[in-house]
């Protein structure tokens, strides 16, 4: 299957879940892989008033930066659908620091879910060439976070741009009902055969939609 077919399949999963629930909580990732999905979602007939959109991670860059995950999602998807502004829960990078931004988002999640750990209905994830997912990179102390839902991480040396990140932690991701990886490319496809070697392998009971 190619990326268009994979993206359509994932969009259908989201649309079906939105029909089932009075309130659907959806956490999305950045990067280039989900961009086709965002475009498809913009044209998918979903009652968006029932959907609350959150982010898995974010670069600590201005909201109008080309590297801002929310900005790209807004451009391709959110600006084109009838979704109440209060249903969009972005990570606020206009805060004084990435640490403050992470704490702010953690408070927002706790206020919404009424519990220290969020319980998203669907979390959309990707995987980098080094096996990272969200902004949880190989060798990072963030991999060992056990309690907090959101943390800031230093700028990774293996990714561009060199910017600090705000990310959901594994406890938050694994507390979600459905975890979906969208993976594109033969190298990453091969990595999924031994996924437990990589940070992405710490996501429990994940579903993999792999485009060749």
Q: Which domains, and CATH codes, for the chain?
A: 3-183+196-211 (3.40.50.1360)
Q: CA-CA distance, 135 to 133, in Å (whole number)?
A: 6
Could you tell me the two tokens for 119?
């319980």
Mean pLDDT of the chain: 96
Q: CA-CA distance, 93 to 168, in Å (whole number)?
A: 15
Tokens 């459905």 -> residue = 178
Q: Is 26 helix (H, G, I), strand (E, B) or coil?
A: strand
Could you tell me the two tokens for 57?
């991670």
- Can you name the residues that pair with 54 across neighbouring β-strands? 27
Judge whether residue 51 has pLDDT over 90: yes
Taking only the tens place, the pLDDT of each residue in 120-158 is 999 999 999 999 999 999 999 999 999 999 999 999 887
**How large a percentage of the chain has pLDDT more than 90?**
93
**What is the value of pTM for the model shown?**
0.96
Residue 114: its pLDDT value, please? 97
Could you tell me the two tokens for 75?
């451009």
């Amino acid at each position: 299957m190619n990326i268009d077919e994979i993206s359509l399949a994932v969009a259908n999963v989201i649309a079906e879940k939105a029909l089932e629930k009075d309130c659907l909580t959806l956490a999305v990732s950045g990067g280039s892989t989900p961009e086709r999905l965002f475009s498809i979602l913009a044209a998918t007939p979903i009652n968006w008033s029932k959907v609350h959109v959150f982010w898995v991670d974010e670069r600590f860059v201005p909201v109008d930066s080309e590297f801002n995950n929310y900005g790209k999602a807004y451009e391709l998807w959110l600006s084109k659908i009838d979704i109440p502004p209060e249903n969009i829960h972005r990570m606020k990078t206009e805060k004084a620091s990435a640490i403050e931004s992470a704490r702010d988002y953690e408070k927002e999640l706790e206020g919404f879910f009424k519990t220290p750990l969020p319980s998203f209905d669907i979390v959309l994830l990707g995987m980098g060439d080094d096996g990272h997912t969200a902004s949880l990179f190989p060798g990072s102390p963030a991999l060992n976070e056990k309690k907090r839902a959101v943390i800031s991480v230093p700028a990774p040396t293996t990714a561009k741009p060199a910017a600090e990140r705000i990310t959901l932690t594994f406890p938050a991701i694994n507390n979600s009902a459905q975890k979906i990886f969208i993976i594109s490319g033969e190298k990453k496809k091969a990595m999924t055969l031994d996924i437990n070697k990589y940070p992405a392998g710490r996501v429990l009971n994940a579903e993999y939609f792999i485009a060749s």
